[in-house]
Structure 1
Amino acid sequence: MIRPGITSRPAAGPDPAADPPAAAAVVAGQFRFFDAHVVRTRRLGPTLLRVTFGGDRLAGFASGGRDQSVSLFLPRPGQQAPVLPDRTGAGWYQAWLAEPEHERAVLRSYTVRAQRYQPLEVDVDFALHDAGSGHPSNGAGPAAAWAARAEPGDRVVLLGPATADNRSVGFRPPPDTDWILLAADETALPALGAILRWLPTAARGRAFVEVPYRQDVQDLPSPAGLDVTWLTREGGSASPGEILAGAVRAADLPAGVPYAWIAGESAMVRGLRRHLVRERGYDRARIEFSGYWRRGASEEQLRSERGTMGDAD
């Protein structure tokens, strides 16, 4: 999900850059490293590419579904596999940082779109943002560029959950929730799709999704009582997230006790959270929000800043 100024999702965990105990959690068995390889790729539209990973070592991978986060280590151009230090101790992250930047594995965070056990497979959707799309490239980042040229057999390493009930899952509506509000741009579309598939058939609410092109619209199975509104920027001059934010602000939302999940561009996410708290009176504790990317910032910068958004109104 990378292009200049656009990064993929900062990991909810384990993210040792923002959360030092995360490295120890790997040792404790909460999360593990999983060697995997590309099985196949599939274009979902102008923006999204699905990469399916497989391998016998995924047997212990335990996605909790919904917006499950996973850290993905990718090889640099010319490498056969991602370069990682010894992964058996708590000091692996510092050792990885000590590797020359042009050699060490690319580290990016993504949502698990789906997991299957027969065969052992994990789907991850990449937002390419022009990388290999046929549009003039704006200089795609290393993860998007890797995904655009990925072929079966290409090797990767996943740092993911060894237990399904893990802290990398953020979408957790309380039992007393009457209805659900979902708002996502294209970078959070994989998570939104997984959430819709996870929701019980009796769930009701509204979902708003903004994507760059009409061809990016997907047929997402969802509960009959949850209405999905698709919004596109195609042919307009709106900034990413602008149409989405406007649609949510103008919406006639259901009555009752809500639970909101907002993910995508950071400014959009902060603005919608303030709107829900200040103008609609929602309890901020019932709003799960994640800035998956921010204009002008790399994922490394977002990792170092992670946690500051929680102080916003």
Structure 2
Amino acid sequence: MLPKVRAPESRRMIELEVLRNTKLTPSFSTITLGGADLEHLTPMGFDQAVRLFFPREGQDGLRMPGFDNEAWMAELLVLPKSRRPWVRNFTIRRTRPELGEVDIEFALHGDSPASAWARHARAGDPAGIFDMGMSYLPPAHAEWQLLAGDESAVPAILAILEHAPASLVAEVFLEVCGAADFRTDLTVPEGVLVHWLARDSADTLPGRPVLEAVKEMSPRPGRFYTWVAGEAGFATGLRRHLVRERGVPKSDIGFFGYWRHGRSSPG
């Protein structure tokens, strides 16, 4: 079985501040963070994820955990909410070590704490990150790849494509809220075909358009690696389809439930 995550060799809590807030499309924004602590982040590329810490509404600053290991979570949970920051998982979209900058791209979901913060974040606002490593780990035997996700996974998949070798062969399915969120300026390897899918209707379950598109897909020849992420039911459903209907070995599928439809994240 493939390892699920490649952890960083070393890591520490990194305190930063907002440098810029850039609107990309109606449903996506990029928050650029910077600060002297960024020298402690080792860029891994691809879908390198971090825990992002940001203040709750009404807090006048950011209290970061003191532990640089998994004990940070227990430390955080004993804090009263008046001092406890919000913490969510996000993918690093880009790093610019020479400028001391890192970009975190947000899919703006309703009034969730992260979306509300991203909409209103301004230069000088505090934030922090803690490196979680990467989960995109294609095996050497894969002749091509299937990358699929809803809007919450779009930043990770775009980062994967940006770091991909020119030899990558892949079918990519990206679901967003509407056609206005399509990115038409992507530069991808010649062997990569990107399919943008618009959900449009609020009655359509997240991930359903991608799942249906993959079911109708005529696969390329050869053994392939799948990386799928997004709403938990969608990611599990796509994996189930590949295993049961297409006979794909479970070890050739990386699947990750970033969120659950109708349920808020704890914290």
Question: Do the structures match in fold with TM over 0.5?
Answer: yes
Once residues 241 and 181 of structure 1 are traced to their aligned partners in structure 2, the CA distance between those partners, rounded to angstroms, is: 15
Contact preservation (8 Å) 1:212, 1:232 = yes
- 1:62 matches 2:42: yes
Specify the SS of the correspondent of 2:187.
coil
Once residues 80 and 202 of structure 2 are traced to their aligned partners in structure 1, the CA distance between those partners, rounded to angstroms, is: 42
CA RMSD, Structure 1 to Structure 2 (Å): 2.1
Residue 94 of structure 1: how far off its partner (Å): 2.2
Match of 2:116 among 131, 145, 149: 145
Residue 221 of structure 1: how far off its partner (Å): 2.0
Contact preservation (8 Å) 1:82, 1:106 = no
Deviations 1:65-106 (A, max 9, x none): 111110011112232321235336774432221111232111
Q: Which residue is equivalent to 1:268? A: 234
- 1:238 matches 2:204: yes
Contact preservation (8 Å) 1:50, 1:123 = yes
Contact preservation (8 Å) 2:206, 2:261 = no
Aligned residue pairs total 263
- Equivalent residues in 2 for 1:86-125 (5 A)? 86-87=66-67, 91-125=71-105
Match of 1:38 among 18, 30, 34: 18
Q: Which residue is equivalent to 2:188? A: 222
Match of 2:244 among 260, 273, 278: 278
Specify the SS of the correspondent of 1:177.
coil
Once residues 214 and 194 of structure 1 are traced to their aligned partners in structure 2, the CA distance between those partners, rounded to angstroms, is: 20
Contact preservation (8 Å) 1:188, 1:264 = yes
Q: Which residue is equivalent to 1:78? A: 58
Residue 51 of structure 1: how far off its partner (Å): 0.3
Report the TM-score when normalising by structure 1.
Answer: 0.79
Structure 2 runs not aligned, ≥5 long: none
Q: Which residue is equivalent to 2:153? A: 188
Q: Which residue is equivalent to 2:125? A: 154
Residue identity matched to 2:165: P
- With CA pairs under 8 Å and 6+ residues apart, which has the higher RCO, 1 or 2? 1
Report the TM-score when normalising by structure 2.
Answer: 0.92
**Which structure has more strand as a fraction of its residues?**
2
Match of 2:217 among 241, 251, 272: 251
